[in-house]
Amino acid sequence: MGLEPIMKEAELCQAVAFDVFDTLLVRPFLKPTDLFGFMEKLYSAEGFASARVRAEKEARRKIRQEIDLDEIYSVLDEGFSFLKEKEIEWEIRLSRADSDALELYRKLRDEGKEIILVSDMYLPRSVIGEMLEKSGFTDYSSFYLSNELNLNKASGSVYGKILEEHPSVFMIGDNKKSDVDNARAAGLKAERWAPLKERYAATHKKETSFGRKNPEASLIVGIDMLMWQSSPDGGYWYSVAKRFGGPMVYSFANFVKVQSEGFDKVLFVSRDGYIPMLAYKEMGGENAEYIHCSRMLSTVLGGNNLSDRDSALVTLEYFRSKGLLKDAININDFDSARRYIAEHDDEVSKMVRDASDSYSRYARRITGRGRVLMADTTTMRYSSQRFLSDAAGVEMKGCYFAVTSQDGPEHVQFIDRSKQHLTWSYVNLAEFFFSSAEAPLADVTAEGPVFSDDVSEYERYREEIQPELEKGQMEYVRMIRDYLGRYTFDTKALDGWLDVLISYEKGNDPHRLSGMAWGVDKGHSDYRPLLFRAGQLPFAVKQTVAGFLKK
């Protein structure tokens, strides 16, 4: 029932009684017990979640039906005793007002209705009071708490006491039996309040289904639910970046921050190191630098391996763009490019050395000395890490959001995709969300980057939507930084959340992810769909085989 009908029903009663949890207060979980799974992971307390659920049931059986938190922990393994205060802390920290319920609450209060609270809950009155106050629920006259009265809504026993003290009461709550049927049976007027998770589920069926899988998925969806209520429509690109890019970059920034301890500098590699760098700084990360590098530059200046499928052609294109190798202007196929470079080895090698020296001056200026952690989104061959390490003259440890091959120099990764198959969409989505709006690099001289003038329609559109992509992800980071702190979402849960996004992206709309394309080659000339389609399978197989051959 909506606000106005409930207001009319309440007009005839002197007092209005509200259920507390899932009516006035919401938490970012689809099930209340998912909090215990969250705590188990956060505090490395293996077995806590199931033990905590069992302890509550056992305490109700052994001690009394309406137990309090102390009684629950009295039958819980002593090894988990330190989590009692943590549970209280997180209950307070995570609770939020259902903003629609808060509006109703304030309207009824301002109309002069006496406000009563009723809850079947094990938490102490002081804790629930703090949760209510910080969420804006104040000025209530009475609070009927089951663990104090040993009376409850579940049996209806509390309603007799309420009527003794308040003869005309209208009850509002989310549980049909406890809050409505039992209240009516006792002589109160009552109406059901549709909880936020039910209203969210009506338009987010896929998200809700995913959220039921485990506590981690429940948390991701619970946060999405809270954001949905607070900002239901921010535009497509803002929304998709906040909801799906946000959890990824927040987790990666936390991961980089942990890994950065002991390093003198954290080097974020262009272009898809840009948003992670912003998030890292937002999370309190220090000594961050942004360095321009690309697959094209690491190929041309980092070894010139002609066995690679397109390195020779990319090398020619690089030098031709600088007005050099004019006699090779009409060479546009791989085999001819290989032959040309082999025949002009001395000339090309000198050009490579000169360009490498110029880049090294730039890299050394950005990198400095000391221990360096190099952060990037995805790698198969670790080419940027190797190239930057050589160019700057320092050893670098790689720190990646995901790797598709483990056989590389010293590194850590948030997600290991080396044994996964057909993860094209996941890889591309991370790079898409994390990227800057910069045009592809044409060159990097000692003075700095030189950007290409030859920009594809996809790159131009990416630049157009960049403000919304950045705004959405950074708003998520700032919100969750204050909400969860240095928590990181489970990698499988993040992939599952991306599956929800991908399931919505059907068709080929040029203004959605479904129609976006992504440069897959070193020279940014071969653009393929951002999301994996069946027609890309031959190309994906070819890339995978190429990766194996490079090991």
Residue extents of the structural domains in the chain: 3-198, 233-551
Would you state the pLDDT for residue 312? 87
**Residues 6 or more apart from 1 whose CB is under 8 A from it?**
9, 191, 192, 193, 194
Would you state the pLDDT for residue 545? 45
Would you state the pLDDT for residue 522? 61
Backbone angles phi, psi at 416, to 5 degrees: -100, 110
Report which DSSP code applies to 324.
Answer: -
Using omega within 30 degrees of 0 as the cis cutoff, is the peptide bond preceding 93 cis?
no
Would you state the pLDDT for residue 11? 84
Would you state the pLDDT for residue 99? 96
Quick: pLDDT tens for 482-507: 899 889 999 999 999 999 999 999 98
| Residue 76 tokens, joined | 């819980």
- CA 134 and chain centroid, separation: 26
Exposure string (b/e) for 378-407, b if CB count within 10 Å is 16 or more? bbbbbbbbbbbbbbbebebbbbbbbbbbee
Would you state the pLDDT for residue 302? 82
Q: From edge to edge, which strands make up the β-sheet containing 372-379?
A: 288-291, 265-269, 372-379, 396-403, 411-416
CA–CA gap between residue 26 and residue 16 (Å, rounded): 20
Residues of the chain with pLDDT below 50 are: 537, 539-541, 543-551
Beta carbons within 10 angstroms of residue 433's beta carbon: 23
| Residue 264 tokens, joined | 């003198």
Would you state the pLDDT for residue 203? 96
Beta carbons within 10 angstroms of residue 312's beta carbon: 27
CA–CA gap between residue 521 and residue 527 (Å, rounded): 8
Q: DSSP characters for 92-153?
A: HHH-EE-HHHHHHHHHHHHTTPEEEEEE--SS-HHHHHHHHHHTT----SEEEEHHHHT--T
Would you state the pLDDT for residue 307? 56
Report which DSSP code applies to 422.
Answer: S
Would you state the pLDDT for residue 175? 97
Backbone angles phi, psi at 28, to 5 degrees: -80, 50
User: Homologous superfamily of 3-198 in CATH?
Assistant: HAD superfamily/HAD-like (3.40.50.1000)
Quick: pLDDT tens for 391-420: 999 999 999 999 999 889 999 999 999 988
Instruction: Please choose, from the candidates 476, 472, 457, 444, the residue with its C-alpha nearest in 3D space to the C-alpha of residue 519.
Output: 457
CA–CA gap between residue 290 and residue 263 (Å, rounded): 15
**Residues 6 or more apart from 392 whose CB is under 8 A from it?**
360, 363, 364, 366, 367, 372
- CA 317 and chain centroid, separation: 38
